[in-house]
Structure 1
Amino acid sequence: MACHCGGKIVNVSIYVPATSANLGPGFDCMGIALDLWNEIHATPADDLQIEIDGVGADTLPRDDTNLVIRCMKMMYERAGEPFHGVHLRMVNRIPVAAGLGSSAAALVGGLLAANHFLDSPFTSAQILRIAVEDEGHPDNVAPAFLGGAVLAYLEDHVVTHVNLPIRDNLTFVAVTPKFPLLTETARGVLGDHVARADAIFNVAHASFLTAALTTGNLPLLRRSLADRLHQDARKHLIPGFDAVYAASQRAGAIGTVLSGAGPTLLAVVEAGAPAQAVAQAMVNAFEQTGSTAVARILPPTTMGAHVHMKAQRTPHGAR
């Protein structure tokens, strides 16, 4: 049952970071949390009310098809408890259908909110597994939940994961053209089979990337971001991909990759002055190919999703 302890009702606020998945060669198993946050403020109730501020305020549903609500109901079903309702206020800053983990943020936020209303019957490991199984792959939900750069893999209903320490002088430039690209569309262009040479290439480069991030070897990092499993197949879905990539390199990026399924391109930059130059160069390149784009300079964050709770007195006569 949802807790109304001591005549008080518990309001829950969940904060979930944006994420960038794959990082080039780490397809479906590597991602990083970025310092851009969605907020979910929830109060248990006997009806459903949803308020949305920021990104998606004009487009996201305000009924039980909302992803946050769907995930809350899923947790209640797993706990064998009825879901009566919730008063929800979402403050969204992560762009939708852009490759920066907006769905993962909603999923993780909904699971955490429900778990707290249920008096926390599920452990952190169980919540992560539920999130990964629902999403289908861990590359966004694991860093959204855990923070930092994460390697994760789901096998036999167990999520094996490790956080990678990364240098504090790296930052990321996320440039998002103003057109959506659904993950289902981006996955639909991928083949079912991979050539052995391409598999070896990605295993090697993902290993190099892990070493480069943890040792701070920037020349190795520059070489390790290449991919043969998904980026070449997807880049035609993003007009101007090659031009934006080239512009980022000329402006001083260490490397540039497709963020998740796109259409955001993510440049890795040494923290400091080059980030602004890289951001402007990428925006300009998108504009020259006919697309308006928004640049965000986003440091990595080691903090993952977290919860704040506030108790208020239940009005006289309330359940």
Structure 2
Amino acid sequence: MRISVYVPATSANLGPGFDCMGIALDLWNELHVERSEQTIIDIDGVGADFLPRDESNLVLQSMRLVYDRFQLPVPPIHLRMINRIPIAAGLGSSAAALVGGLLLANNLLDSPLSRAQVLRLAVLDEGHPDNVAPAFLGGAVLAYLHEDGVTHVNLPLRDNFTFIAVTPDFPLLTETARNVLEPTVTRADAVFNIAHAGFLTAALTTGNTELLRKALHDRLHQDARKHLIPGFDRVRQAAKATGAIGIVLSGAGPTLLAIVDHPPRATDIAAAMTAAFAQEGITATARILTPAQIGAYTHTKMVIKQ
């Protein structure tokens, strides 16, 4: 039997929704697993030249979270990873590996965990739901972790928004980006973000472009992190001058995410953003993406060995 799991990329925070909002995007990693006489890990696509193929592999570690819960060892498997999500780029590659590994393990064990339990396990391991919730559920998600589980809601996105993810050619670890944040914030900044996160929710669900333009501002993380990305302001100005509604840091970065309400403009905006990075001497890759309306899903196929 071959179990396959497909997990979308995600963009966390969306400006003011720090650590509690995110969106799934139509860029997918695939995981395929079969039982084997010994553990073999094959990797195609992004990371094929440097991701580990041993016990330290993140998908295998994520599978172990489920097996450990039932005090069982992970059996020997043949795992094939097909990666399209860039790594250490702010597009949820680690969340995809975590969610994918949990779903693989749960299916190998005949699904002893409910979907709610799998999601809670993912959020507990990640520490916050902004990536794993949309990776698991799809669409735009507002979520938070509490002692009884994960409370979440899918926002009914209007279909007039397109997203442009521009990834500069250097990694930025989430730990590095989190370490530059202040441990406390002022009341004024907290109120500012609460208000703008509310505006953001309203704008995404009503399709109100002008409200969205105002709602993307943030005071909790972006200003502290933007110095880690050379050309941040130049790229943001280029995107807005070419017609983007706004631009935010995707997760912890370094990917910058522009939002467009007129899809034909997307190609020009993507070109302007990559050109702005080039002025800083940085190569960048642009991806024009629509929201992924579904989250991670599983497919099982019987395999007849010859």
Cα shift readout 1:153-200 (whole Å, capped 9, x = no counterpart): 001141000000111121100000000000000000001010110000
Letter in 1 for 2:128: H
CA RMSD of aligned residues (A): 0.9
Q: Given the two structures, how large is their TM-score scaled by the length of structure 1?
A: 0.95
Q: Partners of 1:220 and 1:44 in 2: how far apart?
A: 51
Pick the structure with greater CA Rg.
1
Asked if 1:51 corresponds to 2:42, the answer is yes
* Cross-structure match for 1:221: 212
Helix, strand or coil for the counterpart of 1:174? strand
Say whether residues 1:252 and 2:247 are aligned partners.
Answer: no
Give me the whole-angstrom Cα distance separating, in 2, the residues matched to 1:46 and 1:131. 28
Q: Tell me the CA shift for residue 262 of structure 1.
A: 0.1
Contact 2:99/2:136, CA 8 A, preserved across alignment: yes
Q: In the TM superposition, what is the alpha-carbon distance from 1:86 to its structure 2 partner? A: 1.1
Q: How does 1:82-161 map to 2 (within 5 A)?
A: 82-161=73-152
Whether the 8 Å CA contact 1:20–1:101 is kept in 2: the answer is yes
1:271 deviates by: 4.0
Aligned 1:1-319 pairs, distance under 5 A: 10-313=1-304
CA distance in 2, matches of 1:312, 1:92: 23
CA distance in 2, matches of 1:50, 1:44: 12
Q: Distance in 1 between matches of 2:148 and 2:99?
A: 17
Identity across matched positions, percent: 68
Partners of 1:57 and 1:272 lie apart in 2 by: 32
Query: Is residue 253–residue 278 contact of structure 1 (8 Å, CA) maintained in 2?
Result: yes
8 A contact 2:160–2:207 mirrored in 1: no
* Contact map agreement 2:13 2:21 (CA 8 A) in 1: yes
Provide the TM-score with structure 2 as the length reference: 0.98
Whether the 8 Å contact between 1:79 and 1:121 is mirrored in structure 2 is no
- What per-residue deviation string (whole Å, max 9, x for no partner) do you get for residues 241-279 of structure 1? 000000000010001000000000000001421111110
Distance 2:4 2:236 in 1: 38
Q: Distance in 2 between matches of 1:163 and 1:271?
A: 23
SS, match of residue 263 in structure 2: coil
Counterpart-to-counterpart distance in 1, 2:37 and 2:120: 29
Give me the whole-angstrom Cα distance separating, in 1, the residues matched to 2:303 and 2:122.
Answer: 30
Report deviation, 1:123. 0.2
Q: Which region of structure 1 is more displaced relative to structure 2, 76-85 or 158-167?
A: 76-85
Q: CA deviation at 1:91?
A: 0.4
Deviations 1:268-314 (A, max 9, x none): 00142111111000000000011100000000011100001001246
> Unaligned regions of 5+ residues in structure 1, if any?
1-9
Whether the 8 Å CA contact 2:141–2:155 is kept in 1: the answer is yes
User: Which deviates more from structure 2 when the two are superposed, residues 271-280 or residues 226-235?
Assistant: 271-280
C-alpha distance in 2, partners of 1:107/1:277? Answer: 35
The count of corresponding residues between Structure 1 and Structure 2 is 306
Aligned CA distance change for structure 1 residues 271 and 311 (closer, same or farther; 3 Å): farther
Other-structure match for 1:3? none
Distance in 2 separating the partners of 1:85 and 1:189: 41
CA contact (8 A) 2:209 2:261 kept: no
